Amino acid sequence: MTRKFFGTDGIRGRTNQMPMTAAMALRVGQAAGAHFQRGQHRHRVVIGKDTRLSGYMMESALISGFTSVGVDVVMVGPVPTPAVALLARSMRADLGVMISASHNPFEDNGIKLFGPDGYKLSDADEAAIEARLDHEPKLVAPCDIGRARKIEDARGRYIHAAKATFPDGLRLDGLKVVIDCANGAAYQVAPAALWELGAEVVAIGVSPNGLNINDGCGSTRPEELRKKVVEEGAHIGIALDGDADRLIVVDEKGAIVDGDQLMALIATRWHRRGILRGGGLVATVMSNLGLERYMEGQGLALVRTRVGDRYVLEAMRANDYNVGGEQSGHIILTDYATTGDGLVAALQVLACLVEQEKPASEMLRLFEPLPQLLKNVRFAGGAPLEADTVKSAIASAELKLQGKGRLVIRKSGTEPLIRVMAEGEDPALVEELVDSICEAVRAA
């Protein structure tokens, strides 16, 4: 079923434009609240947010929606997305809501929904909620309106849970870590967790003002982190995105390490310890062919899914894998979390650094990636991928690759973008093919 509002990661868009309006947030609260009223108990939703200015507006509207259909609200303030998933489950809530547009600029916002088990909603649940948006909600009697309250220990609960994933007997003493929190949801919890585990912490991107989330910082803009790591003589740098479910690492020389290398590191470490399940890891079609070849060389499998951490998680749960994620840095470790968690994944990387006593530049380069190029083309409407000229450009590129590389061309599930990726042995050819397809998309 085609979904009108839900993309690959909830509902997302520019604030004060459909679907990211206060009126829409109120309706989503009513629809989701009504959908999850199962059983006779008092119903509860946990609502968290990142640091965007529009978070206040969206939070208030969601609270109005949920309480109007008889659902109590627990507000936890600015916390990472995985914290909301954790709290929804641990507090026996019927639903968890994260108000965030992840790595997008502050002008955007989004609504991510988690079920009572802490997992993102299924397609069926999202379709059912969408169907309710087309009908007037059934409002409760005045005496049954929900109550809203804020709890102050949410961040402490999450810090404790994240630290508990770090291996017993290990400490970060003597390790200098630069962490970039993207002026986002983890600006308090991530530096605190690292410091409590013994690290010397240099924190940047920890001064949110509502407008600077992901602005020249975080996992999608790690340039400042790279400089800071070298300036400080740090052992490693960690970059999170706006809602802290994504991780990118910088080694001591300032080189960027993406999610493919990090997944390879964690999976092989867990394999050596005998705790890797599934015989490999799950990644998307965007992961580098070098990762696939490396895993095969270790006697392990790489299972690919369509793009979106929700699809990675579905494959992990269906086949009992406990390591998976995306090249972009969404890393899911189901032994510890029900969704991507940048801090928890970073702690696994830091555990390897402590155990191996090698420089990050040596430890984090497990395979040589094939030349890969990704470019985005923004479009205003229509279906450019259906144009004959675009189809012809794609067919021509596939012919030139002659089976020695890969093409992945897709519409983004979170932004009005066409993403064009090519991978192959010849970097000049890869660039030529990406540019030719992008030009065809623009013309269409």
Say how far apart CA 296 and CA 290 lie, in whole Å.
10
CB atoms under 10 Å from CB of 412, counted, come to 15
Q: Where are the alpha helices (DSSP H) in 69-214?
A: 81-90, 123-133, 154-163, 189-196
- Residue 120 β-bridge partners: 114
Say how far apart CA 220 and CA 166 lie, in whole Å.
26
Distant-in-sequence, close-in-space partners of 30: CB < 8 Å, separation ≥ 6: 65, 66, 68, 69, 132, 137
Distant-in-sequence, close-in-space partners of 432: CB < 8 Å, separation ≥ 6: none
For residue 414, what are its two tokens? Answer: 């979170």
Q: How does strand 200-204 pair with strand 176-180?
A: parallel
Q: With contact defined as beta carbons under 8 Å apart, do 86 and 51 qualify?
A: no
Phi, psi dihedrals of residue 428, rounded to the nearest 5°: -65, -40
- Residue 410 β-bridge partners: 419
Question: Rg of the Cα trace of the chain?
Answer: 22
From the candidates 54, 102, 287, 328, give the one annotated as an active-site residue.
Answer: 102
Say how far apart CA 429 and CA 424 lie, in whole Å.
8
For residue 263, what are its two tokens? Answer: 């997944």
For this structure, is 102 an active site residue? yes
Say how far apart CA 181 and CA 206 lie, in whole Å.
6
Say how far apart CA 210 and CA 241 lie, in whole Å.
15
Active-site residue set: 102
